[in-house]
């Protein structure tokens, strides 16, 4: 492969430093105790709108993209684009929405008629709604549109699990430094594989470590308790954006965001009534509705904005001829967690409509590679209490039962339709692994071999590896995990994965990586095969 391109620079540079006396919102004020991570535009006009929380891009296609920001007050959003980082020529202005309290002052603007396979530079301006001439300092970002040709390489990263188990932004360690490392990999996009926040995980000012020292967190009011109100869910998303590394990453790398359980509450399922004294709201569906709305407000996902019920978490992103990414939602449509021994399970972990959708879209796909982004693993046993199970596998190595029945149906469909180039990417379990599934090792054998690659956590507690369920014949080709539960990120540095597709030959290479530790495991797959 060619060396990494050097077409981008750190766009925000030294332009985000808070004036000491500036009065900000409660969320940002919480970070002012740690100046290294209280980063906002250097030249702040207190009488004009400001985008303290940076910018993001997403929904990248060959000809369009969605840009996100948040204002500190009511404002009109504008986005200017140019092929030049200096914005000296061919500047286009895109008029965006009014940002107000209904969306927590967040907003997105969709950019259209973009050239394929090109670096697009943009800057977001927030203007006074009553006087467009009064605007704050622009915040810059960039992205690459999807290629129209097979000849251009594609590179993306994935991971999940951020600010979990009480491990938040630690200014003494430089905050979420893994995002700076990932930014330097210059990927086309980042697949955020669920647990993008921990709404059920309060962040304390300090956490004792095994050696007797303390881990120190940036804290905010909204992270002091479990999230129940819409304002508290919104505050969970704002918390992560206090980190400079993440904001710089967002300004350079588009995000494809997925959700799992901790956006709402650990191991939740629809219809659940909580028996948890921390919650005054016991109805999980009420909490999930608020979490869904906040998720749509804080990521560039236009179908979910404003709490729209018609918007789906599951979707497909088509990134040129080489790649389609199918983002599953294994949370919203599932049945209750159970022992998983039922012989008929029409709801399963996907629900019948999503199962029909993924089968149909896989059959329609003409991409060389079809990545199935699952927020939960297939063959790793994930328990929910003493008797119930949280993911697909339930520890019984025999023929498919419970939620395994849906996965068996999907795997059978892939084989019989001779759908080539499928692989599964996941997170959730807080360690990294490469699992190969083969029918000759399985109790259920009507499928083609495939790989499942696991990464994470990106900034949460590390955990020991889980056991595998033999129903689909998994074999662990590689694993690295923490030796004990909830190991801090300082002792167990974050994991992330990298996928690179060669534009010439179509080969796909997966690398499991660790912050500061380089490549842990590499596997190259060949295009055009039903199973490998």
Q: Residue 110: exposed, middle, or buried by beta-carbon count in 10 A (0-12, 13-18, 19+)?
A: middle
Give the 3-state DSSP-derived string for 130-161, with helices as H, strands as E and coil as C: CEEEEECCCEEEEEECCCCCCCCCEEEEEECC
Pairing of strands 432-437, 474-480: antiparallel
- CA pseudo-torsion sign 375, 379, 384, 390: positive
- Report whether 421 contacts 367 (CB < 8 A): yes
pLDDT confidence of residue 531:
62
CA distance 44 to 62: 35
CATH of domain 26-144: 2.60.40.380
CA distance 314 to 327: 5
Per-residue b or e along 507-520, where b marks 16 or more CB atoms closer than 10 Å to that residue's CB: bbebbbbbbeeeeb
Cα–Cα separations (whole angstroms), residue 202 to 71, 213, 276, 508: 25, 20, 14, 39
pLDDT confidence of residue 133:
84
- CA pseudo-torsion sign 240, 485, 393, 500: positive
412-415 contacts, C-beta under 8 A, 24 or more apart = 412/446, 412/447, 413/359, 413/362, 413/363, 414/362, 414/447, 414/448, 414/450, 415/446, 415/447, 415/448, 415/530, 415/531
pLDDT confidence of residue 90:
85
- The residues pairing with 424 across neighbouring beta strands, listed in sequence order, are 372, 452
DSSP 111: E
CA distance 448 to 430: 27
In this structure, the chain runs to a length of 532
pLDDT confidence of residue 13:
30
pLDDT confidence of residue 307:
52
CA distance 22 to 29: 9
Token reading at 147: 């290629």
pLDDT confidence of residue 311:
67
Which residue ranges of the chain lie beneath pLDDT 70?
A: 1-44, 305-311, 530-531
> Where are the domains positioned within the chain?
26-144
pLDDT confidence of residue 89:
86
- Report whether 262 contacts 164 (CB < 8 A): yes
Rounded to 5 degrees, φ, ψ at 72 are -90, 0
Pairing of strands 450-454, 422-426: parallel
Q: Please calculate the CA angle 435-438-440 and round it to the nearest 5 degrees.
A: 140
- Report whether 468 contacts 172 (CB < 8 A): no
- Report whether 466 contacts 482 (CB < 8 A): no
- Report whether 125 contacts 78 (CB < 8 A): yes
């Amino acid at each position: 492969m060619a060396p990494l391109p050097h077409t981008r620079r750190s766009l925000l540079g030294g332009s985000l430093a808070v004036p000491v006396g500036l009065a900000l919102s409660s969320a940002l004020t919480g970070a002012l105790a740690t100046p290294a991570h209280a980063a906002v535009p250097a030249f702040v006009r207190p009488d004009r709108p400001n985008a303290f929380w940076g910018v993001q891009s997403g929904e990248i296609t060959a000809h369009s993209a969605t840009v996100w920001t948040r204002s500190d007050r009511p404002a009109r959003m504008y986005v200017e684009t140019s092929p030049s980082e200096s914005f000296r020529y061919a500047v286009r202005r895109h008029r965006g929405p009014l940002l107000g309290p209904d969306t927590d002052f967040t907003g997105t603007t969709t950019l259209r008629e973009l050239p394929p396979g090109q670096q697009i530079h943009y800057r977001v301006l927030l203007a006074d709604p009553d006087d467009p001439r009064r605007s704050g300092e622009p915040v810059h970002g960039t992205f690459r549109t999807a290629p129209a040709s097979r000849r251009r390489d594609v590179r993306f990263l994935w991971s999940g699990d951020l600010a979990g188990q009480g491990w938040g932004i630690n200014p003494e360690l430089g905050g979420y430094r893994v995002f700076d490392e990932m930014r330097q990999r210059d990927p086309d996009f980042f697949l955020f594989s669920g647990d993008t926040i921990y709404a059920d995980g309060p962040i304390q000012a300090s956490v004792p470590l095994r050696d007797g020292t303390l881990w120190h967190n940036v804290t905010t009011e909204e992270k002091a308790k479990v999230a129940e109100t819409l304002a508290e869910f919104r505050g969970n998303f704002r918390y992560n954006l206090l980190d400079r590394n993440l904001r710089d990453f967002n300004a350079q790398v588009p995000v494809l965001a997925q959700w799992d359980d901790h956006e709402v509450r650990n191991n939740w399922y629809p219809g659940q009534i909580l028996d948890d004294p921390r919650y005054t709201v016991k109805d999980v569906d009420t909490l999930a509705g608020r979490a869904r709305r906040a998720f749509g407000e804080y990521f560039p996902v236009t179908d979910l904005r404003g709490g729209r019920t018609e918007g789906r978490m599951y979707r497909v992103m088509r990134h040129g001829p080489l790649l389609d990414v199918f983002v599953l939602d294994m949370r919203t449509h599932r049945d209750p967690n159970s022992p998983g021994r039922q012989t008929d399970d029409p709801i399963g972990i996907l629900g019948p409509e999503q199962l029909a959708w993924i089968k149909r879209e896989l059959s329609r796909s003409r991409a060389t590679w079809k990545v199935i982004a699952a927020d939960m693993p297939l063959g790793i046993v994930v328990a929910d209490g003493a008797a119930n199970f949280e993911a697909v596998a339930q520890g019984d190595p025999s023929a498919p039962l419970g939620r395994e029945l849906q996965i068996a149906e999907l795997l059978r469909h892939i084989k019989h339709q001779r759908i080539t180039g499928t692989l599964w990417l996941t997170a959730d379990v807080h360690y990294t692994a490469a699992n190969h599934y083969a029918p000759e090792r399985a109790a259920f054998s009507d499928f083609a071999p495939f790989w499942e690659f696991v990464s994470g956590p990106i900034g949460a507690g590390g955990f020991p590896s889980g056991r595998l369920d033999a129903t689909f014949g998994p074999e662990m080709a590689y694993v690295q995990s923490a030796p004990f539960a909830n190991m801090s990120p300082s002792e167990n540095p974050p994991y992330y994965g990298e996928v690179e597709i060669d534009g010439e030959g179509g080969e796909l290479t997966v690398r499991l990586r660790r912050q500061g530790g380089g490549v842990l495991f590499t596997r190259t797959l060949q295009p055009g095969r039903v199973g490998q």
